[in-house]
Amino acid sequence: MKVGHDGKTYLLDGERFQVYGGTLQFFRVPRESWKERLERMKRHGLNTVDTYVAWNWHEPEKGKFDFTGETHPQRDLIGFLELADKVGLKVIIRPGPYICGEWRNGGIPEWLIDEHPEILAKGPNGPLPRDIYYPPITYLHPTYLKAVSEWYDEVLPIIRDYLYTNGGPIISVSIDDEPSYWETIFQPFLTDYNEVITRPGGLWEEWLRSNYSLDELSERYGTPISDYSEVYAPASENEPLPKILDWHHFKIWMTNRYVEILYGHLKRYIDVPISILDPYLLLAAWRHFYRYVKKRNLDIHLWTEFWYSFYRSFDLKEDRLGHIYYKTGVYRFYQRRLGTPPLSIETQVSLAHTIEPDEAEHLYSLIASLGIHNINYYLYVGGENPKGYESHNGVTWDVYSPIGLDGSERPHVEPIKWLGEFLLNNPDFGNAELRPRVAFGTYEPYEAVSTFGLRKGMTESVNLNEYLFGERGLLTLLAMSNVPFDVLDLEETSVEEMLSYGQLWVYSLDFMSREVQDKLVEFVARGGNLVILPMLPYLDENMKPYSALAEFLGVEVERAEARDNVRLIQFTSVESEGIDRMLVRNTVREVKGGEPFVFHYGRPVGTLVRKGKGSAIVLGFRLQYYNSYHDLHRKFVDKLLEMQNVKRDFEVTDRDMIAIPRGNYLVLLNPRGHRVFGKVRYRGIEVPQLLDGIEMEKRGALFLPFGVRVGDVEVVYATATLLSGDGKTLRFRNHLSGSSEVALRGVEEVKAIEGRIVDESFENGILRVVVEHDNEFELGL
């Protein structure tokens, strides 16, 4: 028996297995409820259950282990695995050592910390408060690594016995959980100043030696350095920015080295895929994980997650689109290079005051549409914390889970059920390539300076959440302008890959590495179309003068200071042909050179440059999402596409109807939630033809088939989601309208098993019918 994969889904003994699962943490659910909850999950259409194994729960005292429920029925790991197998669910298991999970110490035993406080990470001024949740530990401390090895040697033999390859249900084992230096990586000077890191000859010095010569360090940090021991770990913003970035990258390296050690332990016992969830809780930084595992030939499956609220109301409307498009784009970039199946292991279905079904459907449909069709919902089954093991949640571990602690079901079960039916019955959807015509180029150091808020004398604001990723950001504007986009890591991608897109967008701060600037020069020279804003870089990665891109383009952008104080940021407007007074925020910079086409009170602030075989649009302002009656920002995006001759793969007559093309499917979304109504053109077909348009009365998604074969019948198109078909019947869903149109080839008549046919035509071998229905309808062939 074998667990393999084809890069898109898993293969069990060669048979395709698309993960559609939910998390049930057996140690938080009463033992007598396990069977009923697992069976309910299966009835909801799930095929996999995910669970942690908490180290401190199974080894409450040093050397005393319980995996059979001898000391507490909810410690019966073996019984849970056997029950899942009996119910017919596959298992993803996550044995830590750290599990996060809003669980005491993230699973690290109290006795270990008490006995060896030296393993705790330190701040620049000494130990951190002992009572914080998830007290961070120095990953590479030898005492901690020894304890982890002993834990693994106890739990992994049990897991091995229940691997799929040994006749059991486990198809993947995960390493740790969101290492991220235990969520302190977002604050550059919070951790880690443990002696094993900062002492002479310690890990920091080791990393410096392996990455830079002394001359390179002197150049990079702007001061003579004669010995590596002179380079102390930075502890404040007063240090040079390149040194602070190196400190950040050093902590990422420690995480990578730690993961490699855990992987080595797992490989001694595990012969199913080994996976990890989001190693840093960052996005662009995934490049460091990719480079590390490829260089060392570590076969680790990179998984991701989607959370958009935490102990507050779920909020998933149009202003989240930019971040979702970006996150899935970065993930696709590296997942394709790793060649492993895309999977969201923690797709939020809990930890919110309420989760509205339409907003849940919006999120789940989006991530599936954007290339992640293996989905696990977290936390699917609610529970409660055993006394003494709670973290920042008290007794409860049921915060609006689809299945509550008392067995009740919440309303967002419905979209989970129908989306699973669609995904599992339409494998061609998951196999279809998502191939946008536009790409966004990300530059990893910008993520760090934005996360830290380190402007360090730069003229441009580093508040990228406001101007790029957030609710009003550029990426939300692109998504809401019906511009699906890939994401390219500008340091990792090749010019050839960049040239495969019709347009490349880049958001620039004051600095950009020489390598990346030179790459953008070559991209334009060889025929690429670049859009860059709100400035051009004039410094390199060492903050030394370098402006190769600006010099090549022959463009000069004014170095005016952007403002950060929210109350002092100005609102103003710019104009272009057909664009009258489009709102922009913050400093607008004059742009000299090229062919000006955007103006700010008469000054040129946007220009088109034709260089070599390509072109570049340079904007001296931030382009954001502001919806209004005049809709100028989306019209301006259309203008930029037209200027560089970039055409969409589809057309919609109602621009609030957002489309994502996926091969023989066109996904339609209504992210704004008001009624939208219009026609679409895709693959040369305008639909509908009998109805006046496609109606979406509320927020939600439709997965429209175009040329999908079911047995001898071709679904030429439908304005409803094709849930399933067996050659005798076709089952559809459209909960956003009471009428749908279906066009079929290979059949001359159909009957409505559910619903009512109210109009039909037969022309050129295509039967078209209009069906009035409730949420779902079925046609007999």
Q: Decide the pairing of beta strands 658-662 and 665-669.
A: antiparallel
d(CA 184, CA 136): 8
Q: Retrieve residue 411's tokens.
A: 């309303």
Q: How far is CA 727 from the centre of its chain?
A: 36
Report the alpha-carbon angle 328-330-332, nearest 5: 65
d(CA 144, CA 57): 18
Query: Of 102, 178, 460, 466, which is the active-site residue?
Result: 178
Spatial separation of the C-alpha atoms in residues 303 and 778, rounded to whole Å: 36
Taking each helix axis from N to C end, the angle separating 357-369 and 321-338, rounded to the nearest 10 degrees, works out to 40
Pairing label, strands 556-557, 591-592: antiparallel
Find how far residue 81's CA is from the centre of its chain: 29
The amino acid sitting at 606 is G
Nearest Cα to Cα of residue 334 among 301, 370, 368: 301
442: which residues sit within 8 A by CB, 6+ positions away? 283, 284, 326, 330, 487, 488, 489, 490
Instruction: State the DSSP string of 516-566.
Output: HHHHHHHHHHTT-EEEEES----B-TTS-B--HHHHHHT-EE--PPPP--G
Closest alpha carbon to 276 in 98, 150, 504, 68? 98
Question: Is-catalytic flag, 183?
Answer: no
Tell me phi and psi for residue 434, to 5 degrees: -95, 115
Residues in the chain, how many? 781
| Residues whose CB is less than 8 angstroms from the CB of residue 265 and which lie 6 or more positions away in sequence, other chains included | 148, 149, 152, 156
- Please count the CA atoms within 13 angstroms of the CA of 405 that sit on its side-chain side: 12
Smallest CA-to-CA distance from 62 within 114, 99, 135, 140 is with 114
- CA pair distance 151, 144, nearest whole angstrom: 11
Beta bridge partners of 733: 721, 776
CA-wise closest residue to 230 among 241, 248, 243: 243
The tally of CA atoms less than 13 A away on the side-chain side of residue 434 is: 30
Q: Strand pairing partners for 545?
A: 539
Q: Which long-range contacts (C-beta less than 8 Å, at least 24 apart) are formed by 450-457?
A: 451/186, 451/282, 452/186, 452/187, 452/188, 452/244, 452/248, 454/188, 454/237, 454/241, 454/244, 455/564, 456/237, 456/241
**Known active-site residue 178:** yes
Helices (H), ranges, 370-426:
413-425
Catalytic residue among 205, 239, 318, 346: 346
**Tokens standing for residue 196:** 């094993």
Q: Name the residues annotated as catalytic.
A: 178, 346
